[in-house]
Chains A and B, each alone.
Chain A
């Protein structure tokens, strides 16, 4: 019997009980839709995390000053005063995997402009910082190395600060007061959004030359951190090790003694985040798969009912020459048609609900063609798997008994 005829018979049989076929399909629709939407949510989250991490700058290695252990009292990171500007110079000079480095000092201060004021983070650095972190300016220009050397009172401000102090007015060229010192705004940074793991507003910050910060605002002589960029993403691991070795040597830390600094590789953080979102995706997908299996059981149930209802039809078909294989194929294809139609509708449903999730919750949802293909294949497999037993049952009927069936 040719496939086209079988498909026509299957279509007939299914459209005879539209409500029943529809409800049966609903199980598969929900299953496939849930798989697509959940995988979409998982992959979307994973992509968002990756984007945020790469937004921190490519190939970036963070070096932070370490903890101190003073008579058993342990303080947090950024407490030691051993990380200095010369360390940074040494890192650039002596670590082959390092491309560039920028120093970082930090304080907090009340900013004043006209009648507005704002409390924020003040960071001191050098102009290459913006390149390393891949952070461009929306307005104006960054301060220069010459400005750093002369400890000029210049500031590059984040978007949040700009909004709070200037509103819609021009910011570049204005003078703001930081701890009662006047600073001229030379640039406004592009918005970066919240940081990936802390949820901090990365745009709530101003940058001043490191020399200005140290000499005029904090009086510190040490660095809170050094931001380093490696020559490539792969090289960031090498850079991490080179820096650690160099700093241990420079800080005269004996083997067995703890580091007084901290080196963090962004690639590590990215990988960790990637791993956790992958686990998340897998979890969501497997929960969604359960509903697909439930949908398959629904198909099996309805196919069994259908075989019983159509016992006489099976008998007639056998009497006029249908073989066991003919009957089995017919019911199997009916189940597959049911599950594939459910799968197709489920893809639409999954894509639709993904878009809805994006629209309503603002989550990034990534609809991958792979997930769609897998869902379609899976729904066909559900049809074969759950259709096989009812089809087998139909094929095994005794034609004489089947013809007598009322």
Chain B
């Protein structure tokens, strides 16, 4: 009996180590007047460190709600969400803000950069809320911009950058506090196909260096750059499978015709 308990807790510890994210039977519903809208109807999934997961699904399938839960922007109505072994479903708003700041990085479809603020300052933004000193903040922001290949665009304003460059700035902003997970919500939704592949190249490289990435997309072309896809339908995961024959984005880029400009 004692040994089983011990082995169970050991197994728990081992699982916590092996799992970056564990979601257990999560439900989410919204009260809209009299009616209750079920957005998630019992989602259970675990994501290991170093994974690159693409979440697919039609609109209304619950994938965005799920993403908001993973991003600690919202809380589940029931079920548990363990992030690196800690249950975040019980944390208050302030603690959630701190987790968003330190452990998560967000990339949005619409880039969501602050206009009239330079690339460097946009990237610096999360560090302002992280009790870092000025030099440390600037150094990290410069480093993050270098990683996404925009070292020479630091003082440009978003309006002076192309869509792909803006999204790279957003990625740098997501990386600046050295998060455990990068969450990307339709990151290529506003980009042309070549630029989309370029962004996926950035993601693949980041993933190769060990960063866990969860990506929401409705484009099958994009999802195949990930290592694993989750298909959402009606608030549940319908399919969970590894990607086979995964292309390398830089190779795809080479094959793509250059834009004539």
Contacts and interface: CB of A to CB of B under 8 A. Distances in A.
Given A1-B129, A5-B128, A312-B112, A320 B101 contact: yes
B130 interface: yes
Given A16-B116, A313-B114, A320 B71 contact: no
A403 B112 contact: yes
Given A320-B101, A320-B125, A403 B108 contact: yes
Given A399-B73, A403-B112, A320 B106 contact: yes
Contact of A326 (B71, B74, B129): B129
A321 B126 contact: yes
B239 interface: no
A320 B129 contact: yes
A319 interface: yes
Interface string A311-333: 01101111111111110000000
Contacts of A318: 73, 97, 100
B168 interface: no
Interface in B66-86: 68, 71, 73-74
Contacts of B94: 323-325
A377 interface: no
Nearest to B132: A2
Contact of A317 (B98, B116, B125): B125
A326 B98 CA distance: 11
Given A324-B94, A400-B73, A319 B100 contact: yes
B63 interface: no
A317 B121 CA distance: 13
A232 B209 CA distance: 92
A403 B71 CA distance: 13
A400 B97 contact: no
Interface in B101-132: 101-102, 106, 108, 112-114, 116-117, 125-126, 128-130
A4 to B, nearest CB: 9
Interface in A271-323: 312-313, 315-323
B177 A321 contact: yes
A320 B113 CA distance: 11
A399 B93 CA distance: 11
A16 B115 CA distance: 11
A324 B93 CA distance: 8
Interface in B162-195: 173, 177
A324 B177 CA distance: 20
A323 B99 CA distance: 11
B126 A320 contact: yes
A204 B252 CA distance: 107
A16 B129 CA distance: 23
A232 to B, nearest CB: 65
A316 B112 contact: yes
Contacts, number: 60
Interface in B47-81: 68, 71, 73-74
A326 B130 CA distance: 11
A315 to B, nearest CB: 8
Contact of B100 (A16, A320, A324): A320
Interface residues of A, number: 21
B98 A321 contact: yes
Given A16-B116, A399-B73, A403-B112, A323 B125 contact: no
B112 A323 contact: no
Contacts of A12: 116-117
A127 to B, nearest CB: 79
A320 B74 contact: no
A322 B114 contact: no
B97 A321 contact: yes
A404 to B, nearest CB: 10
B74 A321 contact: no
Contacts of A315: 112
Contacts of B101: 320-322
A316 B125 contact: yes
A400 B125 contact: no
Contacts of B129: 1, 317, 320-323, 326
B186 to A, nearest CB: 12
B74 A323 contact: no
A323 B116 contact: no
Contacts of A325: 94
B59 to A, nearest CB: 13
A312 B113 CA distance: 10
Given A321-B126, A322-B129, A403-B108, A316 B114 contact: yes
Contacts of B108: 403
Most buried by A among B125, B126, B128, B130: B128
A325 B98 CA distance: 12
Contacts of B128: 1, 5
Interface string A388-406: 0000000000011001000
Given A326-B129, A403-B112, A321 B102 contact: yes
A323 B98 CA distance: 8
A397 to B, nearest CB: 12
Contacts of B93: 323-324
A75 B128 CA distance: 85
A322 B97 contact: yes
21 contacts: A315-B112, A316-B114, A318-B100, A319-B106, A320-B101, A320-B125, A320-B126, A320-B129, A321-B97, A321-B100, A321-B101, A321-B129, A321-B130, A323-B94, A323-B98, A324-B97, A325-B94, A326-B129, A400-B68, A400-B73, A400-B74
